[in-house]
Amino acid sequence: MAQFRAPLPHHNFRSKIEKVDEEFQKSGSFKRINNRRNNEIRDMFVKLGADGYSDASCFYSLGNTKILSLIYGPKPDSKNATYDKGKVFLEVKNLNMNITGTSDKTDEDIKNLLIECISSVIMLDRYPQCSINIKCLIIQNDGGCLSAALTCISLSLIKAQIQMRDIIISININSIVCPNTKRVFHLVDLDKLEEKYYGSKYEMNVVTLGMCLNLGTVCFFHGSGSFFNNKSLAEVIGYAECACRSLGFEIKKTLKNYM
């Protein structure tokens, strides 16, 4: 997987961005403001363990986006005694600031989508009358927070040795339109600076895709934007699947250190 470490901004960083933007507007020739390739993913780091309070934990970072997932269980649950399958509970806490542009209702909707995705991948029939409690802590959000959270949760479940159908790998794809040529560009794993910059200047679609890595199936999809169509959606999914495979390959190599 390509490596990238963001340098400190140059003293005339803004003027450089403006030149890149001017070239894009005039000719349709696109270059990301941090010089990453369109399909280039930030540095990834994974650390699995247990903190003495939870049954398993995973610290996961993608660039400067940092997530900690804690697993409690599976444990017998008297409230779940009538069910022949286990039940997943998820708590998400943002430790630094609210995610820009979201509301409490949106956050709750996304949390429910995460629970639905996770519950579909865990073999809950193996854990009757039990609950699996997940606490996801967003330590730092520098873009791609939702996809990082989903990947981190999946890895913490693996550390907890909870039986799953597959490992979930997730990535964000942002798409922008050149004002003159109307050409659509798909960008993998934007950081916060890119999200704010492109979002303020261009029409932008945002897609978070989660993939069962070995099965090759999409298990999570969340998107927003104004110019989705069959062609652009197929392109985005193709980009996202390739990015998930690339990221998953690196994560699998890291997991071998814990086996």
Residue 6 lies in a domain: no
Sign of CA dihedral 65, 135, 243, 258: positive
Residue 10 lies in a domain: no
Residue 7 lies in a domain: no
Q: Any idea what the CATH number is for the domain that residue 70 is in?
A: 3.30.230.70
Residue 221 lies in a domain: yes
Residues 6+ apart with CB under 8 A from 13: none
Instruction: Give the residue ranges of the chain where pLDDT is below 50.
Output: 1-13, 97-101
The total number of structural domains in the chain stands at 1
**Interatomic CA distance for residues 124 and 189, integer angstroms:** 31
**Interatomic CA distance for residues 158 and 167, integer angstroms:** 8
pLDDT value at residue 20: 56
Residue 173 contacts residue 243 (beta carbons within 8 Å):
yes
Give SS3 for 57: strand
Residue 115 lies in a domain: yes
pLDDT digit string, tens, across residues 133-165:
999 999 999 999 999 999 999 999 999 999 999
pLDDT value at residue 79: 81
pLDDT digit string, tens, across residues 41-58:
999 999 999 777 899 999
Residue 66 lies in a domain: yes
- Its domain, for residue 182, covers 15-258
pLDDT value at residue 112: 94
Token readout for 31 is 């270059």
Residue 3 lies in a domain: no
pLDDT value at residue 98: 46
Residue 4 lies in a domain: no
Q: Which of 40, 214, 232 is CA-nearest to residue 223?
A: 232
